[in-house]
Amino acid sequence: MMKLALLGFGVVGKGVYDEVQKRSDMEVSKVLVRRHIEEIAPIATADIAEIVNDPAIDIVAEVMGGLHPAYEYICAALNAGKHVVTANKAVISAYYGELTELARKNGVALRCTAAVGGGIPWLVNLERCCRLDTVTEVGGIMNGTTNYIMDAMHAAPVAFDEILKKAQELGYAEADPSADIDGDDIRRKLTISANIAFGAQLSEEEIPMFGIRTVTDGDIAAFQSRGYVCKLIATAKRTEQGVAAWLEPTLVDAHALEAAVPQNYNLISFQSEYLGRQSYFGQGAGRYPTASNVVQDCLDIAEGKRAFYTDAAQLMTPDNSGVMHAYYVRTDKADAWLEAITAETLGDGVITKPVRVAQMLPWAKANLEMGNPLFIAAIR
Ligand SMILES: NC(=O)c1ccc[n+]([C@@H]2O[C@H](COP(=O)([O-])OP(=O)(O)OC[C@H]3O[C@@H](n4cnc5c(N)ncnc54)[C@H](OP(=O)(O)O)[C@@H]3O)[C@@H](O)[C@H]2O)c1
C-alpha cells in the first residue's frame, strides 16, 4: 500500500484526495493544511516535519503552488528520501536544475506531469519520445484562459476587457489575470518542456514574451479579413546556436490545427526527427483532469519509474537571433526602425518584412514599458 502525504488541499489537492479514496493500492495518510478542514481533520497537520519525518510516507504530493515554502518543503521531502510529485510549474521551472539534482542525489523520483497541460499526458509522452528520437521543437497553445479569450474574440466582435471579465466570472481567469494574459504561466510550461526535450536548463526570465493584454477587436477583424486566426503560441526549438525559445501572439491560417482549438482547450505539440509532429489536445486545467496526472505520476513511481530529468541538463541561454518571420504591428508611435521594415498596411496596423524574433520582442517590450499602445502578432 503506497502512502501519500498531500501538501495543500485546494482545487487540485482535494481532487487527488478524492481519486485516491477510490483506490485500494494507495492512501492519503497526511495532509498539510494551515486551516481547519473537517473532511480531513483526522489526517491534517500544520507541521511539515510531521510529514518528512514519518517513515511510513512514500510520496509527498506538493499541490500548494507558489515558490516558497513549496521549494523548501520539496527539498526537505527529497532529502528525507521521499519521492515527490508536484503540479507546481512555478517551482519546477524556477528550480529545475536544483530539484532534479537533489532527487538524483537522494535516489528518489521527482515527477511533475500535471505542471504542464494539467490533465494532458504531455510531459510523459515527451519524455518517452526523447528515449529514442531527437525532439527538434516543442510548444503550442499552452494556456486555456488566453485561448478562451482569443476564441471568443474571433467568434463575435467583443472588447478584450469585456471577455476577460466573463472569463473571470466563469472561473477560467484569476482575479489577477496577469500570469495568464501576459504570458508568465506559459513561459514556465515552455521552460519545463524545453528542459525535458533538449536536456537543457533554461532560465524562464531569459525567454522573451508578448501577451494578449493589448489586443483589440479591430486587430481581430483585420486578421480575419486575411483568413488568419490569432493564437498565443509558445515555441522552443533546437537551432545551430543551441536553443531558441519565445512566445507571442501568432497568426495562423484559418485551416491550421491551432486555429480550431476552441474555448479553454490546449494543443501542445512536439516535432521530432523520426516521428514528425505529434500533438496533444485537451483540458489544460481543472480539478480532476489535473489530479489525474498527479495520481498517474504516483502510479508510475509505484511501478519504479523515477524522474523526468536527463543526465545532462546543460545550462543554456535561449538565442532567437536565427529565427525570422513577418509581423503584424499596430502602434501609433511608429519609429524609424518600424518604418524601415514595413512592407504594407493591414487594418490599423502594418505588416513587416521578415524580422528576427530577437529584435522584435525586445523592441515591443520596450515600447510597452514606455506606455506606447501596441500589439504585435507573428505571421507563420
Ligand atoms: N487548478 C488547476 O487547474 C491547476 C492545473 C495545473 C496545475 N496546477 C497547479 O497546482 C498547484 C495547486 O493549484 P490549486 O489550483 O489547487 O490551488 P489552490 O486551490 O489555491 O490550492 C492551494 C492550497 O494550498 C494551500 N496552501 C498554500 N500554501 C500553503 C502553506 N504554506 N501551508 C499549507 N497549505 C498551503 C492553500 O491553503 P489555504 O486554503 O489555506 O490558502 C490551498 O488549500 C499550483 O501549483 C498550480 O499551478 C493547478
Q: Whose CA is nearest to atom 42 of ligand 1?
A: 10
Listing from the earlier edge strand, what are the strands of the sheet with 110-111? Answer: 44-45, 26-32, 2-7, 59-62, 83-86, 110-111
The domain segmentation of the chain, as residue ranges, is 2-111, 123-282+316-379
Question: 297 is written with which cell numbers?
Answer: 505520476
Give the distance (Å) from ligand 1 centre to CA of residue 33: 10
- Among 64, 145, 180, the mutation site with the greatest number of ligand 1 atoms within 8 A of its Cβ is 64
Does the beta carbon of 114 lie inside 6 Å of ligand 1? yes
Closest atom of ligand 1 relative to the 88 alpha carbon: 45
Does the beta carbon of 63 lie inside 6 Å of ligand 1? yes
Does the beta carbon of 110 lie inside 6 Å of ligand 1? no
Percent of the chain surpassing pLDDT 90 = 96
The pLDDT of residue 309 is: 66
The pLDDT of residue 89 is: 98
Give the distance (Å) from ligand 1 centre to CA of residue 184: 17
Does residue 261 have a pLDDT over 90? yes
Whose cell is 502525504? That residue is 5
Least confident of 129-138, 227-236, 309-318: 309-318
Residue 306 — pLDDT band, cuts 50, 70, 90? Answer: confident
Does the beta carbon of 32 lie inside 6 Å of ligand 1? yes
Top-level CATH class of 2-111?
alpha beta
Does residue 311 have a pLDDT over 70? no
Does the beta carbon of 285 lie inside 6 Å of ligand 1? yes
| Section 159-181 average pLDDT | 95
Closest atom of ligand 1 relative to the 34 alpha carbon: 33
The pLDDT of residue 32 is: 98
Please indicate whether the domains covering 2-111 and 123-282+316-379 agree at the CATH topology level.
no
Give the distance (Å) from ligand 1 centre to CA of residue 66: 8
Instruction: Convert the pLDDT of each residue in 2-27 to its tens digit.
Output: 999 999 999 999 999 999 999 999 99
Instruction: Convert the pLDDT of each residue in 69-78 to its tens digit.
Output: 999 999 999 9
Give the distance (Å) from ligand 1 centre to CA of residue 9: 7
Q: For 123-282+316-379, CATH number? A: 3.30.360.10
Instruction: Convert the pLDDT of each residue in 193-236 to its tens digit.
Output: 999 999 999 999 999 999 999 999 999 999 999 999 999 999 99
Q: Whose CA is nearest to atom 14 of ligand 1?
A: 11
Active site residues: 189
Percent of the chain surpassing pLDDT 70 = 98
The pLDDT of residue 337 is: 98
Instruction: Convert the pLDDT of each residue in 322-362 to its tens digit.
Output: 999 999 999 999 999 999 999 999 999 999 999 999 999 99
Q: Whose CA is nearest to atom 29 of ligand 1?
A: 64
Q: Give the single-character DSSP code of 39.
A: G
Residue 61 — pLDDT band, cuts 50, 70, 90? Answer: very high
Does the beta carbon of 87 lie inside 6 Å of ligand 1? yes
In 156-256, DSSP assigns E strands to: 200-201, 228-239, 242-253
The pLDDT of residue 308 is: 67
Does the beta carbon of 94 lie inside 6 Å of ligand 1? no
CB-count burial class (<10 Å; 0-12, 13-18, 19+) for 199: middle
Dihedral in degrees, nearest 10, Cα atoms 287, 210, 168, 171? -10
Give the distance (Å) from ligand 1 centre to CA of residue 142: 19
- Among 6, 12, 16, 185, the mutation site with the greatest number of ligand 1 atoms within 8 A of its Cβ is 12
Do 212 and 179 meet the contact criterion of CB atoms below 8 Å apart? no
Closest atom of ligand 1 relative to the 117 alpha carbon: 6
Give the distance (Å) from ligand 1 centre to CA of residue 275: 36
Instruction: Return the half-sphere exposure (C-beta side, CA atoms, 13 A cut-off) of residue 212.
Output: 34
Sequence-ordered list of residues with C-beta below 8 angstroms from that of 366, at least 6 positions apart, any chain = none
Do 260 and 155 meet the contact criterion of CB atoms below 8 Å apart? no
